[in-house]
Structure 1
Amino acid sequence: MAVRSEGTPCWADAMFPDLEAAKRFYGELLGWTFGESSAEFGHYTQATLDGRAVAAVFPRDPGTDTPAAWNLYFATPDAEATASAIRENGGELVKEPMTVADFGRMVVARDPSGVYFSAWQAGAHEGFETTGEPGSYAWAEVCTREERKADSFFPVVFPFQVERMESERVDYRLWRVGGEPVGGRLKMSDNFPPEAPPFINVYFSVADTDAAVATVRSLGGQLLYGPKDSPFGRFAPVMDPQGAVFTVIDTGTRAGEMPAFS
């Protein structure tokens, strides 16, 4: 599998207070199975779907109270150059470029609007081994109330071509790399609780959104709103039992006309 173009989402992982509970939840919801946890790498545990890598989960550091959350990695050919661009454009480096064995090099950062994200320079680990099918990564968007800060940051750090959704109701920017859509930026609306921090909303594909929501609820999670039909698929933002927010989407069930972008 070829290394992804710079700026393309290439991996997602999440930290949890209770790793085993997270494995039970996502295994039931998305059909994931999990590899062995290694103490050498902080019990970082890769999730697979039919033997293909789709995400990872890992435990929160003892004695800390960092909330559970999903994190997205953008591909970079040069972790140091990306780190420099982050600094130069008002971002914060949470973790300086670091080598992870022979797997690759990573950067953890926060944009000027407060959104945490990562960059990944692939080595032996090139990222997602499948996307777009039920149980795997489907999409992601930066959700923020300070859209101008995000808009002046991400398309400079990464080579995004930016298009505006022509809508009076939704403030959305689509990001493309080499002409292909790879993500976006959404201005947080009243659908988001006022106490919700800015974040990257990671979407996972499912075969049936309503069935997925029922499973989330049966496993102790919450439906945040929806399910809602859209031209992109039927989707629903949810929260797992440990507080990590993500979205499930059935891209095969679509309604309405595609919005225009300019």
Structure 2
Amino acid sequence: MTEASNFIWYELMTTDPQGAAAFYGAVVGWNIAAAGEPTAGGVDYRMIGRSDGGNAGGVLALDADMLAGGARPIWLGYLHVADVDAAVDAITADGGTVQMGAMDIPVGRIAMVTDPQGAPFYIMDPIPPEGGGESDVFSMTEPQRVRWNELSTSDPDAAIAFYKKHFRWGQEGEMDMGEIGAYRFIQRGDVGLGAVMPLMTPAPMWSYYIGVDDIDRAHAAITANGGTITSEPMEIPGGEYAMNGIDPQGASFGLVGPRK
């Protein structure tokens, strides 16, 4: 059986990389590069650096053509697949759509797709880095990494079936959200990836919860640096807190961390 897919990269599409660097530097502690990568093929693409020296993802500057084509500030995740072209065919056969056709980039082959309900994400077959090793941009426990992946969708049952089929995830356990419905947990093997929930956003989308060292410090930094808070810190199982916001350029995000 094909190994279950993991989130191997996260990308912020934004109209203002410098502004995003200042904002996420203050809120999360990241260091976003001051200039684009020379290998990015003409687009402005900057790495997101963590305090431990690793990368948390990348920042893609949206140019006029991208904006004219409908692109807007957003966070997107990359799911690992063994064959991008075959995955695109299988996803579209099951009702997904192609937002950006399969293409080669210096670090692998990628495509942007949506699930059948319309939530966008990338798929990628990466070129293994020198020295090997798995991507560590996702971690259930570590700050400055994405710690939780949450899908808000118009059809949770269909979405879970889709991701189970195409990415080999599991779905065990749920939390009752009352009138909203069930908050259903998804797993990659024995690792909790996140959850699927009924639609709570204007359109189906993935939300990514970034780990912070102190939820109250990060909360204050959001408003002090031009962001907007859309949900206040709420205690979650295990004693930490989660919240949601919108950065100054309009991309929504989540945060999770302890209260100190």
Pairwise same-fold verdict (TM > 0.5): yes
Residues of 2 paired with 1:9 and 1:87: CA distance?
20
Structure 1 unaligned regions, length at least 5: 254-262
The runs of at least 4 consecutive aligned structure 1 residues that moved more than 6 Å come to none
The answer to whether the 8 Å contact 2:28/2:212 transfers is yes
Shift of 1:98: 1.5
1:44 aligns to what? 45
Does 2:85 correspond to 1:80?
yes
Superposed counterparts of 1:32-111, under 5 Å: 32-35=30-33, 36-37=35-36, 38=38, 40-50=41-51, 51-63=53-65, 64-65=67-68, 66-101=71-106, 103-111=107-115
Tell me the amino acid that sits aligned with residue 158 of structure 1.
F
Q: Quick check: 142-151 or 16-25, which moved more?
A: 142-151
1:199 aligns to what? 205
Residues of 1 paired with 2:63 and 2:175: CA distance?
43
Task: Tell me the percent identity.
Answer: 25
The answer to whether the 8 Å contact 1:79/1:120 transfers is yes
The answer to whether the 8 Å contact 2:4/2:189 transfers is no
Q: TM-score, normalised by structure 1?
A: 0.85
1:256 aligns to what? none
Residues of 2 paired with 1:206 and 1:166: CA distance?
24
Residues of 1 paired with 2:54 and 2:175: CA distance?
37
The answer to whether the 8 Å contact 1:90/1:153 transfers is no
Q: Quick check: 237-246 or 161-170, which moved more?
A: 161-170
**Once superposed, what is the RMSD of the aligned Cα atoms?**
2.1
Tell me the amino acid that sits aligned with residue 184 of structure 2.
R
Residues of 2 paired with 1:224 and 1:166: CA distance?
21
Instruction: Call closer, same or farther: CA 1:25–1:237 in 2, change over 3 Å.
Output: same
Structure 2 unaligned regions, length at least 5: none
2:192 aligns to what? 181
Shift of 1:41: 4.6
Tell me the amino acid that sits aligned with residue 114 of structure 1.
G
Superposed counterparts of 1:156-235, under 5 Å: 156-167=165-176, 169=178, 170-189=181-200, 192=201, 196-232=202-238, 233-235=240-242
1:27 to 25, 29, 48: 25
1:246 to 228, 243, 253: 253
Residues of 1 paired with 2:41 and 2:78: CA distance?
21
Shift of 1:166: 4.8
Deviations 1:176-203 (A, max 9, x none): 22232223211134xx5xxx22211001
Shift of 1:138: 0.9
How many residues end up aligned between the 2 structures? 243
The DSSP-based 3-state class of the residue aligned with 2:57 is strand
Residues of 2 paired with 1:119 and 1:130: CA distance?
15
